[in-house]
Amino acid sequence: MRPFSYSRAEDIDTAVNEVTAHEDARFIAGGTNLLDLMKIDVIHPQHLVDITHIAHDTIENTEDGGLRLGALVTNADTAYHPEVEKRYPLLAHAILAGASPQLRNKATDGGNLLQRTRCYYFYDKTTACNKREPGSGCAAIDGYNRLHAIFGASEHCIATHPSDMCVALAALDARVQVTGPDGSRTIPFEDFHRLPGDTPEKDTNLREDEIITSVDLPPKGFADHYTYIKNRDRASYAFALVSVAATLEIEDNVIKDARIALGGVAHKPWRNKEAESLLIDKPADRDGFQAVAAAIVKEAKSFRYNEFKIELARRSIVRALMEASQTYQ
């Protein structure tokens, strides 16, 4: 690792001041993604601001009946929190499908949102990568692109976002609370991550001097009808090829609300609200689920090595909705 200087922030304002005051500074939380990338010199900040001593490390009820996940709560403490297990089991399942117990004990909820892509070329400094080095090209487009996007890619980058947790947060319509030098703002989850377009170096709409303070869950947790399916190359400790978070609200076998978020297929957790709306006021049955899956994958575009993802996504959506329609508390 290249040398860097270090300071510790005890509160949000100090953290924001510290990161603005130092050239090329970053926050460090669990460190499980940042240090990984610093060791191979893909990123090389000159200063780290340690935010793990900031008190935003609890899970609390919000006034609207939802739940606030402090940015510094670990992924493990989130997944095993009684309120999360009971009211947002989709989120608990998605977190536990990711990484390993050791990593989840360190990884934080804020850091999880900001983890970088697992595109092999992004990690390999001998190759061209617009995300790592803007303007250098994209080695994945004509390279080995098995892990890569089938939705929303651009000619500049076809990487996917690797998080499991974020797929559940997208389905749950979470809101991200952030604070910067100009004050605080709320970012709806769907606007947090971005598509690559012609600036793939930017993964999210968070500004560099802004810190995530919490991730807020709305009251509706879909605890009766949910599922998270993660398809990967081995049964655990691997990133998703295609994952699906599906939630349903069903009354008398009629669907009242439906969310479908896909992971491993785009630069951000992928939702298609128009397709989701096809399910509303319809019976919860396989025919309806197949129609939605077809509508979602209609927009998919594959590259040389990832064509399999389209059929995998279609089938996984149907299976996820079938399972979700059957889960009862």
Ligand X SMILES: Cc1cc2nc3c(=O)[nH]c(=O)nc-3n(C[C@H](O)[C@H](O)[C@H](O)COP(=O)(O)OP(=O)(O)OC[C@H]3O[C@@H](n4cnc5c(N)ncnc54)[C@H](O)[C@@H]3O)c2cc1C
Q: Which residues bind other proteins (CB under 8 A)?
A: 1-6, 8, 28, 30-32, 35-36, 39, 41, 44, 46, 48, 50, 52, 76, 80, 99-103, 105-106, 126-128, 136, 235-237
**Options 119, 168, 244, 255; binder of ligand SF4; rule CB under 6 A:** 119
**Residue 211 interface partner, choices ligand X, other proteins, ligand SF4, none, CB cut-off 5-8 Å depending on type:** ligand X
CB of 114 to other proteins, least distance (A): 15
Tell me the closest approach of the beta carbon of residue 168 to ligand SF4, in angstroms. 24
Where along the sequence are the contacts to ligand X (CB under 6 A)?
Answer: 26-34, 36, 51, 71, 75, 98-99, 103, 106-108, 110-112, 114-115, 162-165, 211-212, 239
In terms of DSSP bridges, do strands 211-217 and 226-231 run parallel, antiparallel, or are they unpaired?
A: unpaired
- Closer of 164 and 276 to ligand X (Cβ): 164
Tell me if 42 sits within 8 A of 119, measured CB to CB. no
Q: Please tell me whether residue 300 binds ligand SF4 under the rule CB under 6 A.
A: no
| Shortest Å, Cβ 126 to other proteins | 5
> 105 touches which of other proteins, ligand SF4, ligand X, none (CB within 5 to 8 A by kind)?
other proteins
* Contact of residue 158 among ligand SF4, other proteins, ligand X, none (CB under 5-8 Å per partner type): ligand SF4
125-144 positions binding ligand SF4, by CB under 6 A:
129-131, 138-140
What residues make contact with ligand SF4 under the rule CB under 6 A? 117, 119, 121-122, 129-131, 138-140, 157-159, 200
